[in-house]
A and B are shown apart, each in its own frame.
Chain A
Amino acid sequence: MYKLTKNITLSVVTSLLTLGLVGNASAKVEGDTIVLGAAVSLTGKYTTAGHHTQRGYDLAVSRVNSKGGVTVGGKNYRLKVIYYDDESTPARGAQLAERLIKQDGVKFMLGPYSSGLTKAMAPITEKHKVPMVEGNGASRSLFNKGYRYLFAVLSTSEQYLQEAVNLAAQHAKAMGKSPSSVKVAVAVENDPFSLDIRAGVLDDAKRHGMKVVVDDKLPRELSDMSATLTKVKALKPDILVVSGHSKGASLITRQAAAMRVKVPMLAITHCESAKVTDNKKFGTKAEGTLCATQWAPTMTYRDPWFGSAGDYAKDFKAAYGYVPPYQAAESTASVLVWVNALQNANSFDTEKVRDALSATKLQTFYGNVKFDATGKNIAKPMVLRQVQGGKYVVVAPAKWASHKLVHPRP
Chain B
Amino acid sequence: MDNLQLLIDAPVFTLQLLIDGLLAGAIFALAAYGMALVWGVMNIINITQGEFVILGGFVTLYLSYLGIHPLWGVPVSALALFIVGWGVYRLVIFRIVDRDLFISILATFGISILLQQLMNQLFGADIQNADPNLGTLFLFNDDVAIANIKFVALAVTIVTGVLLILFLRKSRIGQAIRATAQSARAARLMGINTDRVYATTYALNAALCGATGSLVVMTWVIHPFIGLIYTVRSFMIVIVAGLGNLAGVVVAGLGLGAAENFAGFLLGTEFQAAFVFSLLVIILVWRNYRLGKKRQYLK
Contact = CB atoms under 8 A, between A and B. Distances in A.
Nearest to A257: B136
Contacts of A216: 268-270
Given A45-B125, A221-B226, A233-B13, A260 B272 contact: no
B127 A250 contact: yes
Interface stretch (B107-115, B140-148, B172-180, B284-292): B140-148
Contacts of B100: none
A281 B10 CA distance: 34
B145 A228 contact: no
Nearest to B133: A283
Given A234-B10, A247-B223, A226 B127 contact: no
A216 B270 CA distance: 7
A221 B221 contact: no
A223 B221 contact: yes
B143 A233 contact: yes
Interface residues of B, number: 38
B16 A230 contact: yes
A218 interface: yes
B195 interface: no
B129 interface: yes
Interface on chain B toward A: helix, strand, loop, or mixed SS? helix
B270 A217 contact: yes
B221 A219 contact: no
Contact of B265 (A190, A227, A247): A227
A274 B220 contact: no
Contact of B129 (A218, A222, A228, A281): A281
- Central interface residue in A223, A247, A282, by most chain B CB within 10 Å: A223
B22 to A, nearest CB: 12
A258 B145 contact: yes
A217 B268 contact: yes
Chain A: number of interface residues, binned into ranges: 20 to 34
B106 interface: no
Contacts of B262: 227
B269 A223 contact: no
B24 interface: yes
Contacts of A281: 129, 131
Contact of B226 (A223, A231, A254): A223
A291 to B, nearest CB: 16
Interface in A229-244: 230-231, 233-235
Given A226-B20, A228-B264, A258-B147, A247 B272 contact: no
Interface in B76-127: 120, 125-127
Contact of A219 (B143, B261, B270): B270
A226 B220 CA distance: 10
A246 B127 contact: yes
Interface in B233-286: 260-265, 268-270, 272-273
B172 to A, nearest CB: 39
B68 to A, nearest CB: 14
A59 B221 CA distance: 36
Contacts of B129: 250, 254, 281
Contacts of A234: 6, 10, 13
Interface string A37-75: 000000001000000000000000000000000000000
Contacts of B263: 227
- Central interface residue in B147, B226, B261, B264, by most chain A CB within 10 Å: B264
Nearest to A260: B142
A227 B125 contact: no
B62 interface: no
Interface in B4-20: 6, 10, 13, 16-17, 20
Interface in A192-243: 215-219, 221-228, 230-231, 233-235
Interface of B: 3, 6, 10, 13, 16-17, 20, 24, 120, 125-127, 129, 131, 136, 138, 142-143, 145, 147, 216, 220-221, 223, 226, 228-229, 260-265, 268-270, 272-273
23 contacts: A45-B120, A216-B269, A216-B270, A217-B270, A218-B269, A219-B272, A221-B226, A224-B24, A226-B261, A227-B265, A233-B16, A247-B221, A250-B129, A251-B220, A254-B129, A258-B145, A259-B136, A259-B145, A259-B147, A260-B136, A260-B145, A273-B126, A274-B127
Nearest first, the 10 closest Cβ-Cβ pairs linking A and B are A227-B264, A217-B270, A259-B145, A223-B220, A221-B229, A227-B265, A250-B127, A216-B269, A247-B127, A260-B142
Given A233-B13, A235-B6, A247-B127, 5 more contacts: A227-B263, A227-B272, A231-B3, A250-B127, A259-B145
